[in-house]
């Protein structure tokens, strides 16, 4: 009941005309980001962070959150109509969504996607309302050892779950940690890795790294592919047949639960829930051969899991201050830039802000539902914008936004370097998400570790003697060992098959 009262007060804040406007702008830009191939929520959020510098924290986070979950809706449209996923998590939708479009049922695929996304997103936000405050109260009992162990677990999950190679994942994570060490030592105040450059005394700006690794690298990759969109088919008949409602709603229910639970796990990303949902739907189907040929469950389940994941992923951010995906890490950076510290104290110290943002997500989901059902065909036509016109505009926004952070050309140069680095990493299949996640977690981990060692007078093993921190540290070691063994076996099998050939 207390959460309900806070949520109602949050609606009072979210329904002001300023916050409604920013919510509408956020979800509209998110839809645009999702529809346009080559961007995606991480790049779109990173590119637009500089626009929020002069805004109030509430309005800024409402808009950036809208971009995040709006992009999840937008990516579906191009996946179904022109078989081109607007962002990575919509790739799986192409398998059955586009065959439905070829059968003249594009409207049905988009309709069930919008309904499933709305249901999954709404129930996930309800989960945030119910689970968030109790979890935050429990987290208030955490000390520095527990926070260090929890963040180490999140970092281990990042290395183990992102990327095809555990070695490449570890390389990316180490690069992120090294970047986090640049600047002044938090304990001694001595410069580290600054090489006598005054610009590096404060370390790298998170926005500069995010805009380069996600924004600029995506533009370079997309420009290289010389993408051309086909003309989308007409959209008609937005709702399934009577016989399809039952299996579609069951898929939506399963996708909601699956996406929400995966969102709670640090180190995952929005690509995982749709893949697992599609696999689950295919395994439990009476006729698995329908999948890949236009099965409505192959669209409803993954799209619901995709949007349910968004709400679940916000719980570790709001309650523990730990990002569970690359886009959430960018949102964490936006929180910090606006003087807010996500974590267990956020619900106590800034209740108006927290509940206002949560309420705005309910409103944003309703706006997206109405923007998707009647306007899907219109959104698909956005893909007809020539990329040779679009990419220079995005590049100018990147450069101008980077310069306005500190009015410094040094930041622009650093963004360009990180952009080229991200491009090279993508070409050699090194994941860039662990770099951003470990960069954000690195500074937080260092502070928690130094505080823990101060408490235990330099005895690191004392962290293992505390029940919760010890359990989390052992779990991190086990996950890392399992990932290493699995990676070694995969490499061994590959070499064996190569020799047999």
From the DSSP assignment, how many helices (H) and strands (E) are in the chain? 22, 2
The contacts found for 334-340 with CB under 8 angstroms, 24 or more apart, are 334/45, 334/49, 334/52, 334/60, 334/61, 334/64, 335/61, 336/206, 337/49, 337/53, 337/206, 337/207, 338/52, 338/57, 338/60, 338/61, 339/57, 340/57, 340/61
Whole-model pTM? 0.72
- Find out whether 313 and 263 touch, Cβ atoms under 8 Å: yes
User: Could you give the CA distance from residue 34 to residue 407 in angstroms, rounded to a whole number?
Assistant: 30
The closest alpha carbon to 163, from 487, 497, 488, belongs to 487
Q: What is the pLDDT of residue 267?
A: 58
Structure token digits, residue 170: 């570890």
Q: What is the pLDDT of residue 183?
A: 82
Taking the CB of residue 54, how many other CB atoms lie within 10 A of it?
8
Q: What is the pLDDT of residue 496?
A: 40
> Which residue is it, tokens 């622009």?
412
Specify the DSSP element, H or E, that contains 455: helix 433-455
Q: What is the pLDDT of residue 500?
A: 43
Where does residue 497 fall: left (phi above 0), alpha (psi -120 to 50 degrees), or beta otherwise? Answer: alpha
Dihedral angle at the C-alpha atoms of 452, 455, 457, 458, nearest 10 degrees? 0
φ, ψ for residue 191 (rounded to 5)? -65, 140
> How many residues are given for the chain?
501
Q: What is the pLDDT of residue 88?
A: 61
- Find out whether 233 and 50 touch, Cβ atoms under 8 Å: no
User: Could you give the CA distance from residue 155 to residue 443 in angstroms, rounded to a whole number?
Assistant: 12
What are the pLDDT tens digits along the chain (501 aa)?
A: 566 777 788 888 888 888 889 889 888 888 887 777 656 677 777 777 777 777 888 888 888 888 887 877 777 777 777 666 656 667 677 778 878 877 877 778 888 888 888 888 888 888 888 877 777 777 667 778 888 887 787 777 666 555 556 677 778 888 888 888 888 877 777 888 878 778 888 788 777 887 788 778 877 877 776 555 556 656 666 677 777 788 888 888 888 988 888 887 765 667 778 878 888 888 887 877 888 777 888 888 888 888 888 878 888 888 777 776 777 777 877 887 777 777 777 777 788 888 888 888 888 888 888 877 777 667 666 666 666 777 777 777 778 777 776 778 888 888 899 989 988 988 888 877 778 777 877 777 888 888 888 888 888 888 888 888 888 888 888 877 876 776 666 554 443 443 443
Structure token digits, residue 314: 């916000």
The closest alpha carbon to 363, from 158, 121, 135, 150, belongs to 121
Q: What is the pLDDT of residue 494?
A: 41
Distance set, CA 81 to CA 33, 105, 227, 290, 395 (Å): 16, 10, 16, 19, 27
Structure token digits, residue 83: 């078989």
Q: What is the pLDDT of residue 241?
A: 75
């Amino acid at each position: 009941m207390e959460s309900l009262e806070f949520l109602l007060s949050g609606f009072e804040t979210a329904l002001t005309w300023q916050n409604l406007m920013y919510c509408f702008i956020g979800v509209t830009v998110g839809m645009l980001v999702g529809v346009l191939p080559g961007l995606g929520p991480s790049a779109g959020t990173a590119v637009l962070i500089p626009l929020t510098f002069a805004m109030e924290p509430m309005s800024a986070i409402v808009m950036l959150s809208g971009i995040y979950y709006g992009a999840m809706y937008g990516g579906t449209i191009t996946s179904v109509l022109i078989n081109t996923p607007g962002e990575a998590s919509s790739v799986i939708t192409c398998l059955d969504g586009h065959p439905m479009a070829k059968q003249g049922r594009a409207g049905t695929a988009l309709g069930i996607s919008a309904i499933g996304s709305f249901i999954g997103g709404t129930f996930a936000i309800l989960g945030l309302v119910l689970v968030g405050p109790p979890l935050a109260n429990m987290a208030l009992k955490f000390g520095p050892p527990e926070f260090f162990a929890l963040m180490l677990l999140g970092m281990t999950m990042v290395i183990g779950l992102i990327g095809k190679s555990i070695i490449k994942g570890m390389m990316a994570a180490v690069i992120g940690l090294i970047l986090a060490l640049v600047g002044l030592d938090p304990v001694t105040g001595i410069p580290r890795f600054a090489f006598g450059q005054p610009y590096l005394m404060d370390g790298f700006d998170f926005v500069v790294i995010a805009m380069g690794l996600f924004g600029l690298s995506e533009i370079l990759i997309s420009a290289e592919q010389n993408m051309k969109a086909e003309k989308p088919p007409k959209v008609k008949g937005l709702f399934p047949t009577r016989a399809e409602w039952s299996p579609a709603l069951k898929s939506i229910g399963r996708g909601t639960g699956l996406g929400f639970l995966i969102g709670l796990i640090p180190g995952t990303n929005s690509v995982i829930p749709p893949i697992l949902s599609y696999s689950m739907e295919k395994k439990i189907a009476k006729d698995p051969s329908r999948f890949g040929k236009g099965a409505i469950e192959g669209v409803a389940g993954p799209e619901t899991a995709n949007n349910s994941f968004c709400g679940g992923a916000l719980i570790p951010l709001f309650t523990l201050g730990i990002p569970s995906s690359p886009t959430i890490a960018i949102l964490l950076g936006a929180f910090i830039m606006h003087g807010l510290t996500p974590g267990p104290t956020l619900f106590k110290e800034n209740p108006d802000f927290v509940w206002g943002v949560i309420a705005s997500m309910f409103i944003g989901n309703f706006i997206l539902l109405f923007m998707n059902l009647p306007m899907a065909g219109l959104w698909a036509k956005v893909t007809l914008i020539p990329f040779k016109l679009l990419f220079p505009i995005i590049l100018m926004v990147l450069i101008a936004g980077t310069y306005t952070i500190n009015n410094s050309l040094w930041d622009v140069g650093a963004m360009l370097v990180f952009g080229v680095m991200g491009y090279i990493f993508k070409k050699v299949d090194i994941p860039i998400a662990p770099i951003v996640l470990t960069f954000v977690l690195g500074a937080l981990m260092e502070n928690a570790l130094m505080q823990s060692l101060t408490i235990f007078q330099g005895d690191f093993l004392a962290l293992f003697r505390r029940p919760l921190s010890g359990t989390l540290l052992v779990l991190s070691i086990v996950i890392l060992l399992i990932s290493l063994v699995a990676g070694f076996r995969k490499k061994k099998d590959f070499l064996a098959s190569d020799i047999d050939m």
